[in-house]
């Protein structure tokens, strides 16, 4: 199996550990990731606020680049914000020919043309639908028994396009958590917005969404997520949220490939927990005590 | 309590109303059920509810619309769009209001507008966003150069983890300049 890999800007910077652990995970699974040639920013949530056409043309540029690649594969996207932007173009041009025409007028300025032949896939979609659970199970060498993990999906991999999970009551991560030996922390907030896009423009509203999620996950050993925006948002504002709610939130926010990597016995260099902003000593201790060969 | 719509005082700002037309069209079938307001995680922070915002939109009350911060507080979670019994593209309508506010450069939304613009400027220059550069551009545009990311606690923590590095804004390769210009040209024509 081969995928064209679109890391996106966050995975080159603040979410480097997501990219590192993703590449290590797929290598372990024997799946080839070929980085998209000359990829550029998908526009994140900012393009939409500045120009409607650019909010389509920026992700479209990457789809057009993917169509030019020798490998005829789906694009695998770990970042939910990038995923949605690319998906939106894929879906949008299906029945809107004038949109496709306009996009191509813009792409012409970069000598590119979009045909609409490549499919965009979220990392989680690929893990649950393309990879056999048995293949993942066969790589598990250390059971995460005793860990209670809260699956957090966020918005953009679920909505508005319900591609691989229930957009309001998602469950796709659960089999991956249990195959790692951990238990699924029971909560119903997996698909609730964390407010990441508000953090710089309306932080007073964003912090409340963060606090609600951290509160909901009290009792879990960790929250596991598949989006760099959510991950950073939930991890970086724990102190602030704690202060405002007169409590002490301290919960590690792991990327799904990091969690699976731990159970697969990948090395520190492949998981890079040291790059996460919040890994309490108690969590590390529990890891050290529980990580027995399966 | 939300104020009643006063159609008398609604300034008939033709150009604004024209810009709002695509959003208005999206909301025409709204039955004012309030499901969107009830589903919105940010409803508490909004000054008027999404449902009420649609009423303002349907009565062409551009003046009142751009007095609220409701759409600027939309975190694009798509929950309302998913639940609207009429299947309306509510989140897109919220985004369209953000775009109109940006194109009119309305002072009430300065924070979001400058934030989006700084981000896009970094993308235009380099093709990929440089987080530190874009935050510096943002703070400079807010005329507040003393608090770029590197001086905030989060910025310091990210630098300590070598996740971001100090970046002086630079011209870059102007990688996406041609595409940006073309997009603007097309949007100005329509
Ligand atoms: S949920 Fe839909 S129909 Fe109901 S008030 Fe909102 S936009 Fe109107
Ligand atoms: S998309 Fe925006 S308006 Fe709709 S529920 Fe989410 S935050 Fe509220």
A62-117 confidence digits (pLDDT tens): 999 999 999 899 999 999 999 999 999 999 999 999 999 999 999 999 999 999 99
| B39 CA: nearest ligand 2 atom | 5
Q: Is ligand 2 within 6 A of the CB of residue B94?
A: yes
Residues constituting chain B: 190
**Residue A150: helix, strand or coil by DSSP?**
strand
B3 CA: distance to closest CA in chain A (Å): 23
Which residues in chain B show pLDDT less than 50?
1, 5-10, 145-146, 150
Q: Select the residue of B73, B98, B186 nearest A106 (Cβ to Cβ).
A: B186
pLDDT recorded at residue A127:
98
* CATH 3.40.50.11810 domain locations along chain A: 137-293
Contact present, B118 and B141 (Cβ < 8 Å): yes
* CATH 1.20.1050.140 domain locations along chain A: 2-124
Residue A267: CB atoms within 10 Å: 9
C-alpha of residue A49 to centroid of ligand 1, in Å = 23
Rounded Cα–Cα distance for residues A134 and B87 (Å): 39
Q: Which residues of chain B are within 8 Å of residue A49 when distances are taken between CB atoms?
A: 95, 98-99, 102, 112-113, 116
Architecture of the domain whose range is A137-293: 3-Layer(aba) Sandwich (3.40)
Residues within 8 A of B (CB atoms), A 104-133 only = 105-110
ipTM score for this prediction: 0.91
Q: A108 and B182: CB-CB below 8 Å?
A: yes
Which residues in chain A show pLDDT less than 50?
none
Decide if A61 touches B, using CB distance below 8 A: yes
Q: A110 and B95: CB-CB below 8 Å?
A: no
Q: Is ligand 1 within 6 A of the CB of residue B32?
A: yes
The neighbouring-strand residues paired with A33 are A3
Query: Regarding the domain delimited by A2-124, which CATH topology (the fold level of the hierarchy) does it fall under?
Result: Glutathione S-transferase Yfyf (Class Pi); Chain A, domain 2 (1.20.1050)
pLDDT recorded at residue B64:
95
Residue corresponding to tokens 């991999």: A157
pLDDT recorded at residue A254:
98
The pTM (predicted TM-score) of the whole model is: 0.93
pLDDT recorded at residue B165:
64
Decide if A92 touches B, using CB distance below 8 A: no
What does A75-115 look like in DSSP terms, one character per residue?
EEE--HHHHHHHHHHHHHHHH-HHHHHHHHHHHHTTT----
Rounded Cα–Cα distance for residues A77 and A239 (Å): 30
Instruction: Write the pLDDT tens digit of every residue in A176-201.
Output: 999 999 999 999 999 999 999 898 78
Q: Is ligand 1 within 6 A of the CB of residue B33?
A: yes
- Which residue segments constitute the domains of chain B, with CATH numbers given? 14-104 (1.10.1060.10), 109-189 (no CATH)
């Amino acid at each position: 199996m081969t995928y064209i890999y679109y890391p996106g800007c966050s995975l080159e910077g603040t979410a480097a550990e997501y990219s590192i652990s993703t590449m290590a995970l797929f290598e372990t699974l024997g799946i080839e990731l070929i980085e998209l040639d000359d990829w550029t920013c998908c526009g994140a949530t900012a393009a939409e606020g500045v120009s409607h056409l650019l909010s389509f043309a920026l992700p479209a540029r990457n789809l057009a680049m993917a169509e030019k690649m020798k490998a005829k594969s789906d694009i695998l996207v770990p970042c939910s914000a990038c995923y949605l932007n690319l998906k939106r173009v894929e879906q949008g041009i299906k029945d809107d020919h004038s949109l496709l025409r306009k996009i191509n007028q813009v792409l012409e300025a970069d000598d590119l043309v979009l045909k609409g032949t490549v499919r965009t896939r979220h990392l989680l979609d690929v893990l649950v639908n393309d990879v056999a659970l048995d293949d993942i199970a066969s790589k598990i060498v250390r059971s995460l028994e005793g860990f209670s993990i809260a699956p957090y999906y966020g918005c953009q991999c679920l909505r508005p396009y319900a591609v691989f999970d229930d957009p309001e009551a998602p469950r796709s991560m659960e089999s991956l958590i249990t195959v790692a030996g951990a238990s699924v922390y029971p909560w119903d907030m997996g698909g609730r917005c964390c407010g990441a896009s508000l953090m710089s423009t309306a932080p007073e509203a964003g912090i409340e969404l963060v606090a609600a999620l951290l509160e909901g996950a009290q009792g879990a050993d960790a929250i596991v997520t598949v989006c760099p925006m959510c991950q950073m948002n939930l991890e970086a504002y724990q102190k602030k949220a704690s202060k405002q709610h007169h409590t002490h939130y301290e919960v590690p926010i792991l990327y799904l490939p990091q969690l699976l990597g731990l159970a697969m016995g990948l090395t520190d260099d492949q998981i890079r927990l040291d790059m996460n902003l919040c890994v309490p000593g108690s969590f590390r201790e529990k890891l050290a005590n529980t990580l027995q060969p399966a | 309590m939300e104020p009643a719509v006063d159609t008398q005082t609604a300034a008939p700002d033709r150009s604004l109303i024209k810009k709002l037309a695509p959003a208005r069209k999206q909301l025409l079938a709204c039955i004012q059920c309030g499901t969107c307001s009830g589903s919105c995680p940010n409803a508490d922070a909004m000054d008027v509810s999404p449902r009420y915002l649609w009423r303002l939109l349907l009565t062409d009350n551009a003046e009142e619309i751009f007095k609220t911060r409701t759409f600027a507080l939309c975190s694009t979670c798509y929950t309302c769009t998913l639940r609207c019994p009429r299947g309306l593209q509510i989140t897109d309508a919220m985004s369209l209001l953000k775009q109109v506010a940006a194109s009119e450069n309305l002072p009430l939304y300065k924070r979001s507008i400058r934030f989006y613009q700084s981000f896009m400027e970094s993308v235009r220059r380099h093709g990929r966003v440089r987080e530190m550069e874009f935050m510096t551009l943002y703070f400079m545009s807010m005329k507040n150069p003393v608090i770029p990311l590197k001086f905030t606690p989060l910025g310091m923590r990210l630098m300590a983890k070598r996740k971001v590095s100090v970046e002086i804004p630079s011209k870059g390769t102007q990688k996406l300049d041609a595409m940006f210009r073309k997009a603007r040209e097309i949007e100005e024509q329509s």
